[in-house]
Amino acid sequence: MKLHSNIIGEGTPFIILHGFLGMGDNWKTLAKKYSELGFQVHLVDQRNHGRSSHSDDFSYAYMSNDLLEYCNDHQLTNITLLGHSMGGKTAMDFACKNPSLINKLIIADIGPKYYAPHHQVILDSLAALNFTKITSRSDAEEILKKTISETGIRMFLLKNLYRVTKTTFGLRNNIKVLTEKVDEIGKSLTENLTFDKPTLFLRGDKSDYILDEDIDLINKHFKNATLKTVTNASHWLHAENPTEFFEYTSSFII
């Protein structure tokens, strides 16, 4: 599968993988800052997200293999790889299976453990958008307001809205398949996978995705891992405290 990407800057390859229902462009501001450090940043849309192709096949194995094809197509080696949430799970799987391609690994607010499904309200809300009646972005937001009270989450989701024609809208992500395969999102990293190179795990101090009791499991899979906590941040730690997020990540990769 050919993945869409936005490539910013020149230098050492740095791939960023977005989270569930996101897209590479969510990371554009930070990508520009990384490019100023001498990196060529690849903001990749994973399958069924952003501008990448849709497929009925959806799992971390598929997304990891997509990334391998992408790296081969772009002849990327000595890669710094950063993944957030779902993208972090893809990054873990990819790094463990392709360690020779990776220089350093950054995982943002996700652990290798199993997570119970918890996206159903959001998926149901997006599925409820009737694009035969929606004529503006504000129309879509009014519908989402009925079930999603947090403005930040609504704005994040509405980035998936695009004009199909001059008068009609649609969503870039494949809501049908993502809903059918939502259990794949929470699956744990395969038990026997390990990665020995430098790895930075970041968690938000207001997030419950990485708990202290998860550290042993992290160290089991990632033999050279460090865990840092970003203050005043929950699961979207890169958006809620980008300054501290950039400080931790830049000092790790330079």
Residue in 18, 42, 221, 235 annotated catalytic: 235
Distance in angstroms (rounded) separating the CA atoms of residues 192 and 227:
21
Instruction: Please count the other Cβ atoms lying within 10 Å of the Cβ belonging to residue 251.
Output: 10
In order of 31, 93, 189, 220, the CA distances from 155 in angstroms are: 20, 29, 30, 37
Q: Do the Cβ atoms of 169 and 162 come closer than 8 Å?
A: yes
Distance of alpha carbon 134 from its chain centroid, rounded?
28
Distance in angstroms (rounded) separating the CA atoms of residues 254 and 242:
18
Distance in angstroms (rounded) separating the CA atoms of residues 210 and 216:
11
Comparing CA positions, the residue from 17, 91, 85, 30 lying closest to residue 245 is 30
| Catalytic (active site) residue 85 | yes
| Catalytic (active site) residue 18 | no
Residue in 85, 125, 207, 234 annotated catalytic: 85
Catalytic residues: 85, 235
